[in-house]
Amino acid sequence: MRHGRAFWLFVGPFAAGLLVFVYVPIGWSLVLSFFDARNTVTPTEFVGLRNYVDMLTDGPFLSSLGTFSVFAAFVVPLTFVLALALALLVNQISFMQAFFRSVFFLPTACSYVVASLVWKLSIFNGLRSGLANTVLGWFGADPVAWTVSTSPPWYWLVLVTLRLWLQLGFYMILFIAGLQRIPVVLYEAAALDGARSWQAFRFVTLPQLRTTSVAVLLLLLIGAYQAFDEFYNVLGTDRGYPPFARPPLIYLYYTALGSGGQDFGHGSAGAVILTLLIVGVTLLQGRAVRR
Amino acid sequence: MISRRRLLSLACASVLLAACGSNTGRGGNGQALKQWYHAYGEPGVRQAVERYAKAYTKTQVSVQWNPGDYDSKLATSLLSDGGPDVFESTPQISSVRAGQLVPLDDVFGDARSDFSDSILATHTVDGKIYGVPQAVDMQMLFYRKSFFSQAGVQPPSTVDELIDVSRRLTAGSVKGLFAGNDGGGGVLGGPALWSTGLDYVRDHQVGFDDPLAATAIGKLRELYTSGSLLLGAVKDWAEPDAFTQGLVAMQWTGLWAVPAVAKALGDDFGVLPFPSLGAGGSASVPVGAFGAMVNAKSKRIDEAKDFVRWLWIEKTDYQEDFNLGYGFHIPPRKSISERASKLTSGAAADAVKFVRDNAKASNPPDWTSVMRTAFNDAVSRVVRDGAPADAELRAAADVARDELKRLYG
Amino acid sequence: MKALRYLALSVAAVLFLVPFYLVVRNGLVSESEISATSWTFLPSSVRWENFAELFSDPAVPLVRSMLNSLVVAVLQTAGQLLLCSMAGYGLARIPYRYANVVFYFVVATLMIPAAVTFVPSFVVVSTLGWVSDLRGLVIPGLFSGFTAFLFRQYFLNFPRELEEAARIDGLGHWRTFWRVVVPNSRGFFAALGVIAFVTSWNQFLWPLVIAQDQDSWTVQVALSTFLTAQSINVHELFLAAAVSVTPLVIVFVAMQRYLVKGVTETGIKG
């Protein structure tokens, strides 16, 4: 009994908050997802699974999952490879190591909003005098309307490079930490066996980084799944958002809170679907790692 | 005995709670009426409306300025209890049906006949008026006279001429036309419809379910692919910067920009309506007026109405200042617009003429945001992605038809 | 080989630093130079008076929004550390019949990123009347299952001898925690605290949804509003961005050690 009181003294405030701000919202939205809840959070019209059917047959929601897939297909492997490369480079040098590590890590201090500002209005604006277009100009190429053009969809270059700049340093740090946990004796043994440096990388570094790599991949995937900030700030305008390049959270934002009225029924159904998807992926990943 | 550390932790917790309890969002004073404006781009407007509010003696009024996506924000706040008491917008039939707006017919009194009928009509739903028009805004095409004469071209009078002229004025670092960073899909969709004689909605029916609409929107696609549009400018179409900096020969923007353009370019510019596509169509300018409206969820509807009556009916000097003191707008009241000397010469006078001859309602009450979003998305897909215009517009028409059915039965 | 390495790193470093330079450069030039017909790396003239212009422009609530961000970040960091460390300690160290059940409820939330459930959270927070309110900005972010989980893992490995010594001195759980455990865990608290602060300062979606009145904007919402609407002078926008990043750059330089530790702690366990 005494333990019970002490336990709740420590855990109670947190548990209560978790209940109110995590479990109640999820439960409530589960309820809302079965109702026609336009412009109200206390709906009366039960519609069964209709919101789910709408979402899963509705082009925009499915295409938002497609947008996420395209985005993840670029961002995840690129970040993984480049962050690993930076980590290896930084880890191998001794002079100015701290300096380089800090420089690559520094963009983490920036918000997506600030990065979007630089990318949209300075580097990738459509003017001939934009930085990217100036560089193109050196090679005699015509200026490109980076954030406007949909064929070819240059905005992907804008969005992907932006995210790379912001997150590479973070993942580089994770890889460096992983690299430093590899026992030096393994490399010494490999050298004794006459392994070349790439062989050491292939047969020592990579296997030893397995845990880090799996964690990094999952984090990258979840990060891409939640992409919102840079899409909203680079492509959004004061008159709304263009009808393409809408990742899931952008789509939900405009469904549930956009100018088309607050549709909490569909918005909640979408949130439930996204939650189930991510829980599924996490469980699958957990099983894969355990194996 | 309470240890020091425990004391510290308790203090932390109480600071946290106290800070959380203090309400920062509501301006501290529960007594003030809340009035919302969207962010006008012209310098001085914000200070002006704050000055008006301060001059009101019966109740305290706090002005909130809302930069950004004002329509969404307003839509959200009208559903909650924390919304404004008084705000500016254009009434939509969907908001009226949802009971969000207070009818203001009794606010007008004798002044009703002083308001332009066509403007009042855009604030009227089912015979009741829901907004007191504040200022009439219109959009039009600005063109640089010297660029035209250098290139030896005439101001365009048809859509095809516009495309041709835009192409011929594109040279070096100068582009032919700037109509928004989305390539014109956002602001030119309506004018393109009107150029063929079609409209958004007509007699509670979808007005653009017609092969001609596909032709019209196809012209915007042609313009977009002509390579003569400025895309990705640092500031968007509502600001005249691209035009005044000489990055383009023509820009689609609004009457409000006339003072800034005149300051930068002197006489070296002219204005035009959006041209007609040909037979059956006509040149057009989108015209709309934000009106002062009262939130039906307000707990102080009568006070809010009194304030609206005071500012937008009685205080004609403020109304004149608001319309003409900063950017240019056309006063919605005949008695004020008649003596508005700033609107009698140059581009402003042309604009007034366009409003008289070519006006189309940019935000009619039965064109709701759901329909607008569907239409704009369709236009955007056609213009930017080259999606087939007929299929896209048919899909948008289906959405609009469902919505009209929901609203009118 | 070594030279090549340094060359590659140097090129990358320049690329990483250019955006920082652009924020400052564009903040200190005249409006027309940002969209001038040709781009130059160095501005033609540096206008320090832009600072005065920015801070005196009534249209830009920079000071107010930075203050909001600061208050939110400080409260959120302090509150999260307090609540989550206590919960983590209770879960790790206090034997209780239902501790496992509670722990499963905490772990279950780890699979659901908060951003994905912003719609349901908005429904609850707006029902509480916390829209455009400091409470709505701060409180929902305090209950991080992930932080509580990290604290639990950390306290599981906390040397028992220290606690037992305190126990012998007659201290209960509560006083043991505050007098022995917390003071000996400063590094861990600092690491998670820095991460929480940076995350809070830079978060965007939740403040965008909740901070609807201008008075409650955080600095990210303010910058975003002007960026998407482009309704202020662009050079002011850049300068405001530069000012908004400065506190974090200082945190980064001053707390680098804890930050790296925090990243490795929070990242790997993810």
> In the numeric block, which tokens belong to residue B98?
């949802």
Q: Which of chain C's residues have a Cβ under 8 Å away from the Cβ of A4?
A: 96-97
Q: How many domains does chain B contain in total?
A: 2
Distance (Å, whole) CA C70 – CA A167 = 23
With respect to residue A283, please indicate whether it lies within any of the assigned structural domains.
no
pLDDT score for A261: 64
Q: Which of chain C's residues have a Cβ under 8 Å away from the Cβ of A6?
A: 90, 94, 172-174
Distance (Å, whole) CA C195 – CA C201 = 10
Q: Look at the block and give the residue holding tokens 């048809």.
A: B158
Which residue ranges of chain B lie beneath pLDDT 50? 1-29
CB contact under 8 A, C231 and B13: no
Which of C:41-60 have CB within 8 Å of A? none
Pick from A262, B191, B35, B65: which is nearest to C123 by CA? Answer: A262
Asked whether residue B252 falls in the same domain as residue B393, the answer is yes
Give the H or E element holding residue B142.
strand B132-143
CB contact under 8 A, C86 and A11: yes
CA distance B55 to chain A (A): 31
Q: Look at the block and give the residue holding tokens 């980064």.
A: C252
What's CA B92's distance to the chain center, in Å?
Answer: 14
CB contact under 8 A, B380 and A243: yes
Residue B267 exposed, middle or buried by CB count within 10 Å (0-12, 13-18, 19+): exposed
Residue-wise pLDDT for C103-122, tens only, equals 999 999 988 888 888 888 99
Distance (Å, whole) CA B20 – CA A140 = 58
With respect to residue A60, please indicate whether it lies within any of the assigned structural domains.
no
> In the numeric block, which tokens belong to residue B294?
């009262």
With respect to residue B327, please indicate whether it lies within any of the assigned structural domains.
yes
Pick from B212, B224, B219, B361: which is nearest to B284 by CA? Answer: B361
With respect to residue B96, please indicate whether it lies within any of the assigned structural domains.
yes
Residue-wise pLDDT for A132-191, tens only, equals 999 999 998 888 999 988 888 999 999 999 999 999 999 999 999 999 989 999 999 998
In a 13 Å sphere around the CA of C87, the CA atoms on its Cβ side amount to 29
Chains touching A by CB (3 or more pairs below 8 Å): B, C
> Could you tell me if C68 and C156 are in contact, meaning their C-beta atoms sit under 8 angstroms apart?
no
CB contact under 8 A, A18 and C145: yes
C79 to chain B, any CB pair closer than 8 A? The answer is yes
CB contact under 8 A, C231 and A249: no
Structural domains in chain C, CATH included, are 57-269 (1.10.3720.10)
Question: Which chain B residue has its CA at the smallest distance from C229's CA?
Answer: B68
Q: What is the pTM of this model?
A: 0.89
Pick from B261, B275, B276, B249: which is nearest to B143 by CA? Answer: B249
Asked whether residue B255 falls in the same domain as residue B377, the answer is yes
Asked whether residue B123 falls in the same domain as residue B164, the answer is no
Pick from C194, C192, C233, C240: which is nearest to C217 by CA? Answer: C240
CA distance A39 to chain B (A): 6
With respect to residue B12, please indicate whether it lies within any of the assigned structural domains.
no
pLDDT score for B5: 44
Residue-wise pLDDT for C184-205, tens only, equals 999 999 999 999 999 999 999 9
Asked whether residue B117 falls in the same domain as residue B192, the answer is no
Asked whether residue B261 falls in the same domain as residue B400, the answer is yes
Pick from B126, C173, B279, B346: which is nearest to A4 by CA? Answer: C173
Distance (Å, whole) CA A155 – CA B24 = 38
How many A/B residue pairs have CB atoms within 8 Å? 89
With respect to residue A123, please indicate whether it lies within any of the assigned structural domains.
yes
Q: What are the angstrom distances between the C-alpha of C38 and each of B223, B246, B251, C33?
A: 26, 13, 21, 9
> Could you tell me if C234 and B235 are in contact, meaning their C-beta atoms sit under 8 angstroms apart?
yes
Least CB–CB distance from C37: residue in A128, A249, A256: A128
pLDDT score for B30: 54
> In the numeric block, which tokens belong to residue C251?
């945190």
pLDDT score for A290: 61
CA distance A262 to chain B (A): 7
Distance (Å, whole) CA C82 – CA C85 = 6
Least CB–CB distance from B241: residue in C35, C75, C133: C35
List, in order, residues 6 or more apart from B279 with CB less than 8 Å away: none
Does pLDDT of A30 surpass 60? yes
> In the numeric block, which tokens belong to residue A272?
């439930």
Q: Which has the minimum average pLDDT: A13-17, A254-258, B173-177, C203-207? A: A254-258
Distance (Å, whole) CA B233 – CA A143 = 12
Q: Which has the minimum average pLDDT: A152-166, C74-88, C166-180, C222-236? A: C222-236
Q: Which of chain B's residues have a Cβ under 8 Å away from the Cβ of C57?
A: none
Asked whether residue B161 falls in the same domain as residue B268, the answer is yes
Q: Which has the minimum average pLDDT: A122-131, B229-238, C35-44, C156-165? A: C35-44
**Among the three residues B346, B361, B376, which one is the final residue of a domain in this structure?**
B361
> In the numeric block, which tokens belong to residue B325?
């003191």
Least CB–CB distance from B67: residue in C31, C131, C229: C229
Interface test with B, best of A64, A148, A235, A264 (most B CBs within 10 A): A148
Q: Which domain holds residue B48?
A: 33-137+288-361
CA distance A187 to chain C (A): 19
Distance (Å, whole) CA A260 – CA A253 = 11
Least CB–CB distance from C113: residue in A100, A109, A222: A222
CB contact under 8 A, C229 and B12: no
Residue-wise pLDDT for A191-203, tens only, equals 898 888 888 899 9
> In the numeric block, which tokens belong to residue A220?
């990258």
Asked whether residue B302 falls in the same domain as residue B185, the answer is no
Label the pairing between strands B201-202 and B205-206: antiparallel
Asked whether residue B59 falls in the same domain as residue B127, the answer is yes
pLDDT band at C257 (very low <50, low <70, confident <90, very high): confident
Q: Which has the minimum average pLDDT: A15-19, A266-270, B278-282? A: B278-282
Distance (Å, whole) CA A118 – CA A110 = 11
C75 to chain B, any CB pair closer than 8 A? The answer is yes
Asked whether residue B271 falls in the same domain as residue B293, the answer is no
Asked whether residue B93 falls in the same domain as residue B162, the answer is no
Q: How many domains does chain A contain in total?
A: 1
How many B/C residue pairs have CB atoms within 8 Å? 108
Least CB–CB distance from B46: residue in C59, C126, C183: C59
Q: Which domain holds residue A110?
A: 71-243
Longest dimension (CA), chain C: 77
Q: Which residues of B touch chain A, with CB atoms under 8 Å apart?
A: 67-72, 75-76, 79, 94, 98, 173, 181-183, 186, 230-234, 236, 247, 369-370, 373, 376-377, 380-381, 384-386
Angle between the N-to-C axes of helices A24-32 and C118-127, in degrees from 0 to 180, rounded to the nearest 10: 100
Which bin fits B109, alpha (ψ -120 to 50), beta or left (φ > 0)?
left
> Could you tell me if A162 and A119 are in contact, meaning their C-beta atoms sit under 8 angstroms apart?
yes
- Give the percent of chain C with pLDDT over 90: 61
Which of A:127-166 have CB within 8 Å of B? 127-128, 130, 145-151
> In the numeric block, which tokens belong to residue A107?
């963009």
pLDDT score for B245: 92
Distance (Å, whole) CA B344 – CA A148 = 39
> Could you tell me if B200 and B122 are in contact, meaning their C-beta atoms sit under 8 angstroms apart?
no
pLDDT score for B39: 87
ipTM score: 0.92
* Residue A194: how many other CB atoms lie within 10 Å: 7
Indicate which CATH number applies to the domain containing B82. Answer: 3.40.190.10
> Could you tell me if A92 and C5 are in contact, meaning their C-beta atoms sit under 8 angstroms apart?
yes
A89 to chain B, any CB pair closer than 8 A? The answer is no
What does DSSP assign to residue A38? B
Indicate which CATH number applies to the domain containing A180. Answer: 1.10.3720.10
With respect to residue A209, please indicate whether it lies within any of the assigned structural domains.
yes
Pick from B244, B196, B236: which is nearest to B216 by CA? Answer: B196
With respect to residue A42, please indicate whether it lies within any of the assigned structural domains.
no
> Could you tell me if A17 and A235 are in contact, meaning their C-beta atoms sit under 8 angstroms apart?
no
Q: Look at the block and give the residue holding tokens 């706040």.
A: B77
pLDDT band at C127 (very low <50, low <70, confident <90, very high): confident
In chain C, what is the straight-line distance between the N-terminal and C-terminal CA atoms, in Å? 36
With respect to residue A113, please indicate whether it lies within any of the assigned structural domains.
yes
Distance (Å, whole) CA A202 – CA A222 = 27
Q: Which of chain C's residues have a Cβ under 8 Å away from the Cβ of A280?
A: none
Q: What is the rounded average pLDDT for all residues in chain C?
A: 90
Residue-wise pLDDT for B247-305, tens only, equals 999 999 999 999 999 999 999 999 999 999 987 889 999 999 999 999 999 999 999 99
Mean pLDDT, rounded, for A82-108:
93
Asked whether residue B123 falls in the same domain as residue B206, the answer is no
pLDDT score for A259: 61
> In the numeric block, which tokens belong to residue B406?
């929901």
Q: What are the angstrom distances between the C-alpha of C178 and each of A2, A264, C185?
A: 19, 44, 10
A212 to chain C, any CB pair closer than 8 A? The answer is yes
B299 to chain C, any CB pair closer than 8 A? The answer is no
Name beta bridge partners: B8. none
With respect to residue A154, please indicate whether it lies within any of the assigned structural domains.
yes
CB contact under 8 A, C234 and B64: no
Side chain identity at B112, as an amino acid letter? R
Give the H or E element holding residue B285.
strand B285-294
Residue C246 DSSP SS3: helix
With respect to residue A260, please indicate whether it lies within any of the assigned structural domains.
no
> Could you tell me if A271 and A252 are in contact, meaning their C-beta atoms sit under 8 angstroms apart?
yes
Asked whether residue B319 falls in the same domain as residue B369, the answer is no
With respect to residue B1, please indicate whether it lies within any of the assigned structural domains.
no
Least CB–CB distance from A237: residue in C143, C228, C238: C228
> Could you tell me if C84 and C151 are in contact, meaning their C-beta atoms sit under 8 angstroms apart?
yes
* Residue C191: how many other CB atoms lie within 10 Å: 24
Interface test with B, best of A10, A116, A127 (most B CBs within 10 A): A127
Does pLDDT of C72 surpass 80? yes
